[in-house]
Structure 1
């Protein structure tokens, strides 16, 4: 999964990034100055920021995917409210995908520098 010395972690799967960020946040949450601890152990702050960003982006994309795939039309529901519900979901999906698409190029380059998987952004978002 990764090498944790000196911020030299290399991840092969975005799920590993999510687990690592959770572990990192849990272990550092009780500290007053997370940045000072990272500096002490020679962990680059930019890498931690990129890990947080990647984990959040992936989690957000999975949440959108789950919401879209769990949507069910109820034929007993009146047409007007059903259409409003569908439109709200479509707008939420469109907004989320557009946000990730806008930051994809810069994020992809930054993630590659820090050896954070990017395939999840490239294959999930089809515009």
Structure 2
């Protein structure tokens, strides 16, 4: 996914929806990582320094390349050829990593973003339930 408009819209909707679950004073800084192929990777950093900047990184060939170049412990080794589908979430410290593996419109819709946020919140609360 290389469309900056779609990446920015995803970030906007994600931040708007997650704000309902954050305590006062916590804001979200984001970095969107576009790729030549399907999907994209997003990093959302929760902070209390008022940093709510939204950055779009350089376009990389694959999601695997992005994951090999950002700090993460989700997958290791040579992942350049790994195909991602659906949406994968990775929570570490104050950072949420969202891996969108596909470009079909349903994966990027407002309802899909809301579901991604619900999954993050339920995971961070230690619940396996997604029915909030």
Tell me the TM-score range normalised by the shorter chain. Answer: under 0.3
Which is richer in helix? 1
Structure scoring higher RCO (CA < 8 A, sep ≥ 6) equals 1
TM-score (norm 2): 0.25
Which is richer in strand? 2
TM-score (norm 1): 0.26
